[in-house]
Chain A
């Protein structure tokens, strides 16, 4: 197991190098120098500031050298400083934003799993029933629904029309004046819409996947063996079929990470949530190159870690892989 883990981690190294390379390349597609842009945005910066910056970022050197400088800094955990007014270290900004996005996505994934697994199991065990057909329709609509539009509709209904939930943000204006319980409730209220909506698309995908995974398992021979023992349908479904059907879901969870992180841009922008997505979006608008590169590298590392974690979980959950 340990060996497996080590080989897998070793396999990630070339990918990580590739990730930094692509991120670097993307940014250097830019026609002008990033410093020009930065000084453009900041009228106070004179030519000497520009020169200092060029030195700091090594922009006067050829591209391969620049890449080397940047990567060796990265390797030491130095992501550089933001181009924006505050000039704060990129890593600090990411450290603030990351937990918010992670928490949001973990919560919505938890909800998705709690809903999608029962839906998928039901549809598969009641194939072609009314409920199954309704699920199929729901899934198709879910796939086609633009998440930001769904968010707008929900805001329109729950916040504007009914006035039950706040439109955006994580805290009310009077948050600090509230009691402890009140504060928790306040944040919870702000989280309901973003959490539910960002899970919506995954919900459709996950229920569909769960359904076909379950259908696949149900027609396996060992399910007939279980029935031939005289087990009731519940036991057959939950003890014999579900366990097997859940295995591919683990992989899907790993694969859905980039989508979730990518989707956080829109969700966090709509609901004004200070997470990675909004941080990235702001860095885009500000052409804050160090931050853009930092977030790109960080998000793809998250993806890699997520896939690795999923593979490990699979290896633990599937006895056929456990002993390797």
Chain B
């Protein structure tokens, strides 16, 4: 049985994968799926509850909540992938270099990781956001720059064990450059756990973004994000429950989907962890 077949036999993976696939489709086809323009202000439909026309109700500017949520899927997808991509772009090479060279390089990198882990990451993110301009790109950079430590440790551990394997030793013996050995021979062998960490990272990046947007310092308001719809939901919680309930549900299902996919893949890809958990 190859990896794909095994992955497809795992129910957890399949459920997670289906959720993620649906979210992708929603994000891509948002303009066709959304019944209304998400930024269409309509004074005649302010804070209307769920109805046949507005399935999930409207907000205080009369905008259709469902349409805003559908476009919000784009934000969460973008933030999730880009920020974890940034985290990997920092963490993977650092971890690879630390694990491959060991010694002083390793010590320096790992002390830096320890240092970054001293900060409550949410505080660090807020502090950086405080000094930068509020934009979705800055959010992604900041989330990425404060969440690379896990994947760095992971890759380092992989490289520590890969370093002594025959093909690595052989490549060194042939006089290949470290960069070539790391990228050609090392990284492809460390890809499975990185992939799992990537998927799980997307889940937590989405949670972080929604938290920031909820606080009003994430994705800036006219653009819809599940987090900033909830901010408004909080303000109108006593009169418009639908704005507090549905966007959160979207976040929950999305994060759950990525977590299930990640955990399921871990079970199939990583034989060391396959037993209990």
Q: Which residues of A contact B (CB under 8 A)?
A: 14-15, 18-19, 22-23, 26-27, 29-31, 127, 140-141, 143-150, 152-153, 155-156, 160, 212, 215-216, 257-259, 261-263, 265-266, 269-270, 280-281, 283-285, 287, 292, 295-296, 299-300, 303-304
Contacts and interface: CB of A to CB of B under 8 A. Distances in A.
B52 interface: no
Interface string B211-231: 100110100000000000010
B241 A146 contact: no
B111 A14 contact: yes
Contacts of B116: 22
B46 interface: no
Given A160-B238, A212-B277, A148 B118 contact: no
B187 interface: no
Contacts, number: 143
Contact of B256 (A144, A261, A270): A144
Contact of B128 (A29, A156, A262, A283): A29
Contact of A140 (B230, B251, B260): B260
Contact of B118 (A150, A263, A300): A300
B237 A156 contact: yes
Interface residues of B, number: 46
B122 A263 contact: yes
Contact of B207 (A18, A146, A299): A146
A281 B111 contact: no
Nearest to B231: A148
Contacts of A292: 127, 130
B115 A22 contact: yes
Interface of B is mostly: helix
Interface string B115-136: 1111111111011111110000
Contacts of B112: 18
Contacts of A263: 122
A304 B118 contact: yes
6 contacts: A18-B115, A30-B131, A143-B255, A152-B237, A156-B245, A284-B130
B83 interface: no
B123 A262 contact: yes
A262 B118 CA distance: 11
Interface of A is mostly: helix
Contacts of A29: 128, 131-132
B42 interface: no
B248 interface: yes
Given A14-B111, A29-B132, A258-B118, A152 B230 contact: yes
Nearest to B210: A146
Contacts of B122: 262-263, 265-266
B252 A303 contact: no
Nearest to A160: B238
A29 B132 CA distance: 8
A22 B259 contact: no
B237 A258 contact: no
Contacts of A296: 119, 123-124, 127
B96 interface: no
A93 B43 CA distance: 44
B209 to A, nearest CB: 10
A143 B263 CA distance: 12
B131 A26 contact: yes
4 A-B pairs closest in CB distance: A149-B248, A262-B122, A262-B120, A30-B131
